[in-house]
Structures are given as structure tokens and as C-alpha cells.
Amino acid sequence: MDLDLRRARYFQTVAHELHFGRAAQRLHLAQPALSRQVAALERELGVTLFNRSTRHVSLTAAGAMFLAEIGPVIDAADAAIRRVRHGERGAGTLVIGFMPGLSLRHAIHAVTDEFPGAEIEMRELSWVDQTDVIRDGTVDVALARRPIDSEGLRLQRVIDEPRGALVASDHPLARDAAVSIAQLADYPVIRHRNGGIWDDYWTVNPRPDGSIPIPGPLVETVPEKLAVVANGTAITFVPRSAAHAYAHPDVAWVPITDIDASRVVLAWMPGRRSRLLRAFAAAVAHAPDEVVRTPTRSRVSTS
């Protein structure tokens, strides 16, 4: 039997939402059409994937098993597509990923001065996909923040910069010149959804004295962090450049004196050796301070 991946994607979306209406909105489909596609998949497989009622949708045992098994298949197919598209990019194109707060301006100008016809694309990354997008070919090279899964990647150390606490502007510590991690022990700390090792590092878990931080709300983006901090619900820890790049009138950044600095690295697959990548890596190495000086905040393209 040949599995229809399009229907498998539809199933996956419904399984995550457990609501056909919301899944249809995400997929930009009419709900009846989505229901027919899922029913067709069930006929193909010869199993019932969902328990359906007028008020409730849930996975059957077969549906739960299929969701676990089909996820890696869909991810592998997506990665194959991205790698093929990466292979079609011309020698004059470089796609650069960057974490929030890091600046590409100086290095990109150096590359385009040397190669005036170069096409440079920039993509803002998140803590979830820093290295996955390198391995699957979405980006050619990335300015990443540790901790990352570096297996199979070539890393170039760029610069270390201080970490500090983002607190509401009326927080008792907001006007301090610097604080210790112990002074922050009584305040909930924002957590990172699907953050893994990133979450432990950026919540400073465990603390130097072995204690565990008070868990705050889960977030997925930097703007969500700012909103939570501004409301006084929790604090968060960010490097200095990210605090400057995402300045907020109701938020203050205070350096922390007794935790290690945030390390920025350049990462790429060893097999990628384009002249643009080499020039970009050399420009970053020549002026590492520029990476944390002028904020880069959005996706743009230059040529």
C-alpha cells in the first residue's frame, strides 16, 4: 500500500488539535473536506484513528500508535524536500540563520563587498530549531547560542556575552546595577516550551546552591517573554544583546554577576564549503564584537 503523505499530514494536524474545526482552519481547508480526507485515510489503513462525537474528538489506540509512528516519517520527508531545494540553490546564494538579538550586518556587508552579486537570505531561529535547520538544509550556516546539539556540526567560537535578568520596570531589583543569582531565588522564571537543555541553561536549573528555580509560564517566542515579564508574572534570563534588540518600555535588564556568560557560535555542516560561507565565517571571526552590537530583528533578503 502506498501511503498518501498529504492525508497523513491532515491526520497529524487533527491529532494535535483534537478538533476538526481548528485543524481545518490551520490547514486552510473546509471542515467537511478534512473529515473526508481523514476518513479516506482510515479506510486505507483499515483502522479507526479517532473516536468522534458531537462534543469530543480523541485518538483511538491505533490513532495514538499511528501518530507516534508517522511523525518521524513526515519529518524525514520534509527534511528531504528541504535538502533537495538546498541543492538547487546556486553558488551565489547563502542562507544564514541567527538567534534573536544577534547582528549579521557587518559580516553580510563584508560578504557582499567581496561578492557584489551574492544573494543573502536571513532567517530568525528559535531555541527549538537552532541546529535542525542546519542539518536539513534550511540554512547554510547559523549564528547560534549554546547550549545546542552540536553532533555532526562544525563550530566556530564567536564571542561570549553577559547574561542578565529581564524584570518588570517596577520590580524591586530593576534599578540595581547588577544582581546575584541568589537574589532572584524567590521569583518565578519563564520556561521554554520544548526547550530541553536550553530550558535548563536559561532558567539556571539547578542554581549554584543546588536549588531549583520556581517554574513560571511556558513561552515559545521572545515577544511572549516580554509580555509575561512586563506583566510582572515572572522573570527571565537573556543575554545583553537580546535585551537591547527587544527593548520594551515596561521591562528592565539587570546583569547577573555570578553565572557563566552566553556563548555565541557559528555552526555549519562540514560538507558545505561554498565561497560565500567561507567569506561569512571569516568576516564574523574578524569582527566578533559586531555580532552582539547592532540588533537584527527581522527576516530580510539582500542581493
| Domain identity same for 167 and 149 | no
Could you tell me the residue range of the domain that residue 219 belongs to? 163-255
| Domain identity same for 152 and 272 | yes
| Domain identity same for 104 and 251 | no
Considering its fold, how many domains does the chain have in total? 3
Q: Looking at residue 48, which CATH number applies to its domain? A: 1.10.10.10
Each residue of 266-294: pLDDT tens digit? Answer: 999 987 778 999 999 999 999 999 999 84
| Domain identity same for 155 and 22 | no
| Domain identity same for 104 and 153 | yes
| Domain identity same for 147 and 292 | yes
Q: What is the pLDDT of residue 91?
A: 56
pTM here? 0.69
| Domain identity same for 245 and 103 | no
Residue 209 reports pLDDT greater than 70: yes
If you average pLDDT over residues 146-161, what whole number do you get?
Answer: 93
Each residue of 9-50: pLDDT tens digit? Answer: 999 999 999 999 999 888 888 888 899 999 999 999 999 999
If you average pLDDT over residues 196-200, what whole number do you get?
Answer: 90
If you average pLDDT over residues 169-191, what whole number do you get?
Answer: 96
| Domain identity same for 51 and 100 | no
How far is it, in rounded angstroms, from Cα 143 to Cα 264?
7
Q: What is the mean pLDDT of the chain?
A: 89
Q: Looking at residue 208, which CATH number applies to its domain? A: 3.40.190.10
| Domain identity same for 39 and 149 | no
Q: What is the pLDDT of residue 300?
A: 32
Burial 209-247 (b: 16+ CB within 10 A, else e): eeeebeebbebeebeebbbbbbeeebbbbbbbbbbebbe
